[in-house]
Chains A and B, each alone.
Chain A
C-alpha cells in the first residue's frame, strides 16, 4: 500500500531493466549462510527480490540422496535465478561454472561473474574478470559482473558488453557499507547499463545510501542471512532499497554548512 499520490509516484515503468527483462524489485539477494531452506525461502519472500543468486557445487555422491534441492525452494518460474561463480579464482573456472549453470538451467544465459583475487579480502581479480567477461559475452552469456569500485574498470566492463556492472561497496561479507561513495557515483554517472552495488552492505541505511547515489539496485546476502532475525532484516532491506530509490528520484536538497530557517521571518509579532 502506498500513500504517495499517483501523480508523484514513480511510474510503473520505473523498473530495473536487465538483459531484456524488467524487474520491479531493485533488491537482489543471495541464498548462502541461511539456517535451512525454509529460512532462505521466508527471507527471500520478505525481501521482495525477483532475482536470486545461487552457487554451483558438486552434488553429494552417495550421502543424503533425498537432500532437498534449492531450486525446488526457488521455482525458476517465480524467480529469475542468477547462477554465480562464487569461489572461482581463475577465468577458466568461472567460465566452466557459467557453462555448467547454463546446462543446469536449460540454456539460461544470465550469470553473475566474479573472479576472486585473494582469500582475505575477496577482492576481484580484475584482469581475470575482464578476460572471463569477454569470453562469456562472446559465448552468448548475459553477464552481470562483480568488480571493484574503479570507474575505469567499470567502463571497460560495460564496453565489453556486460549487462550490469556491480561494484563492491566494501569487501564481501564485511558489512562495512558504502566505503567510497564518490567512486560509486562516478561509475553510476558514466554508465549506460545498470550499476548495482554488490557486497559490503551491512544494514538498511547502507542499502539506502547506495540507492540514493543512483544505483539501479543492490545485491546482498550476508547482511540479511547473518542478521539476528534474517526475515525481518529482509523486510527492512526491501523498504530501504525502495526508500533510497524514491529519494534519488525525488532529488535531495543541497547540503549547507549553516542553518536555514524553515519558517518565514516576515510577520513575526515578537
Chain B
C-alpha cells in the first residue's frame, strides 16, 4: 500500500492555487481566512468564489484551500455602465 508520507514532507511544503487568475503559492493547510490575511485582505469588504461557487463569509475560517483550487476574490469598484478604472475582469 502506498502511503502518503505526510510526516516526511518538509514544513515549508507548499501548493498552488489559482487566485484571481494568478498561480499563487499557498502554504499547506491554509484556510481561506488565512489566505485572505496573507494577501492583506483580512477584514476587507470582499466576496469569495471557490471553484465557481460562492463561498459564504461564515465558511472562510473552516474552508481549507486545496491544491489546484480556483479562487476569485472581488470587491466593489467605481462603475456605472462600464468601469474605466480597472479593466481586469474575473471572467
A residues within 8 Å of B by Cβ? 29-34, 37, 40, 53-59, 61-62, 65-66, 69-72, 81, 83-84, 86-88, 93, 96, 99-104, 114, 122, 146, 172-173, 198-199, 219-222, 225
Main secondary structure of the interface of A (DSSP, over half): mixed
Output the least CB separation between B34 and chain A (Å): 15
How far is A172 from B81 in the complex, measured between Cα atoms in Å?
7
Cβ–Cβ contact A70 & B77, under 8 A = yes
Cβ–Cβ contact A56 & B76, under 8 A = yes
Q: How large is the interface on B (under 10, 10 to 19, 20 to 34, 35 or more residues)?
A: 35 or more
Residue in A54, A65, A219 whose beta carbon sits within 8 Å of that of B77 in the complex: A54
Quick one: closest B residue to A33, CB to CB? B84
Q: Interface code B22-49, partner A: CB below 8 Å = 1, 0 otherwise?
A: 1010000000000000011100111111
How far is A83 from B24 in the complex, measured between Cα atoms in Å?
28
Cβ–Cβ contact A114 & B81, under 8 A = yes
Output the least CB separation between B58 and chain A (Å): 10
Given contacts A57-B86, A58-B21, A103-B54, contact A96 B80 (CB under 8 A): no
Cβ–Cβ contact A104 & B79, under 8 A = no
Given contacts A32-B79, A104-B74, A172-B82, contact A59 B54 (CB under 8 A): no
Quick one: closest B residue to A106, CB to CB? B57
Cβ–Cβ contact A86 & B90, under 8 A = no
Given contacts A57-B86, A100-B54, A104-B47, contact A71 B76 (CB under 8 A): yes
Quick one: closest A residue to B79, CB to CB? A55
Chain B residues with CB under 8 A of A70: 75-78
- Ordered by A's residue number, 8 sampled pairs between the chains whose C-beta atoms are within 8 Å are A31-B80, A32-B81, A65-B41, A69-B75, A70-B76, A87-B79, A87-B89, A221-B81
Given contacts A61-B39, A93-B91, A103-B57, contact A40 B82 (CB under 8 A): no
Given contacts A55-B76, A56-B74, A57-B75, contact A86 B83 (CB under 8 A): yes
Cβ–Cβ contact A222 & B80, under 8 A = yes
Cβ–Cβ contact B81 & A173, under 8 A = yes
Chain A residues with CB under 8 A of B41: 59, 65
How far is A70 from B88 in the complex, measured between Cα atoms in Å?
17
Given contacts A86-B81, A114-B81, contact A59 B20 (CB under 8 A): yes
